[in-house]
Amino acid sequence: MEVEPTKRICLVAGSTGLIGNFLVKELAKSDVEVIALTRNEYFSENQQVIYETVDFDKKESFEELFKNVTDVFICLGTTINKAGSKESFRKVDVDYSFSIAEAASKASVPNLSVVTSIGADSKSNNFYLKCKGEVEEMISSLPFQSLSIYRPGLLIGEREEKRFVESIGQIIQPRLIDPLLIGSAKKYRSVKAEDLAYTLQTLSGASKGKTIYQFEDFKTKKIN
């Protein structure tokens, strides 16, 4: 008697951001059920995707959504300019991300993936990299069967909100800087957001324990 494979149910936090938006589409194409968390009402015509409006400050608004979930993806992120202060930035990138991971752990979700940044280091003097390092350490303390940490460099892709400095970087880095980044510096190369999203859905749960993925681990999305 054959045992039916476990149905894959994926939850995405940060589902309307640059990476999350691509990821939701990738997962839906893989014929899995997708629960996409959002702070504002959102709707998809794809029956595989259910958008759930939540308040990240209130765990009770999303804890029940983790029941039977097999894979959680944390793609939350903002900028200090958009958040308004360092404290508000940290609330999104560290506190909210950890709250999602904690809820996933409490629900015994086996596989968790989180996107941070190349250079993430809790001891860094750079506030951004320090926050990314802190959230990595906090989430690493939770007992997941598979924990995947992704550390991309500059993300290439069209965001809904314009980030002037990042937009300039998206033009300059791939053409002028990336070719110079070789050897151990290759990990600092820019990466297409759609390639990172493709990698997230492909590698979730692929390795047991904690795995850190960087540029050379990212897979290029195949064009059909």
The CA distance from 33 to 109, in Å, is 15
Of the two residues 197 and 169, the one the predictor is more confident about is: 197
Residue 4's pLDDT is 46
Average pLDDT, the chain: 90
Assign 222 to helix, strand or coil: coil
Model confidence at 217, pLDDT cuts 50, 70, 90, reads: very high
Strand partners, 210: 147
Task: Say how far residue 88 (Cα) sits from the centre of its chain.
Answer: 19
Model confidence at 165, pLDDT cuts 50, 70, 90, reads: low
Q: Is 132 among the catalytic positions?
A: yes
- pTM here? 0.91
Give the model confidence (pLDDT) of 14-70 as tens digits: 999 999 999 999 999 888 999 999 988 888 888 899 999 999 999 999 999 999 999
The CA distance from 154 to 146, in Å, is 25
Name the active-site residue from 51, 132, 198, 213.
132
pLDDT at 3 over 70: no
Quickly tell me which residue has 């409006």 as its tokens: 53
Name the active-site residue from 128, 187, 219, 221.
128
In the chain the domains, ranked by start, together with CATH numbers, are 9-155+191-214 (3.40.50.720)
Residue 2's pLDDT is 45
pLDDT at 223 over 70: no
Q: Is 106 among the catalytic positions?
A: no
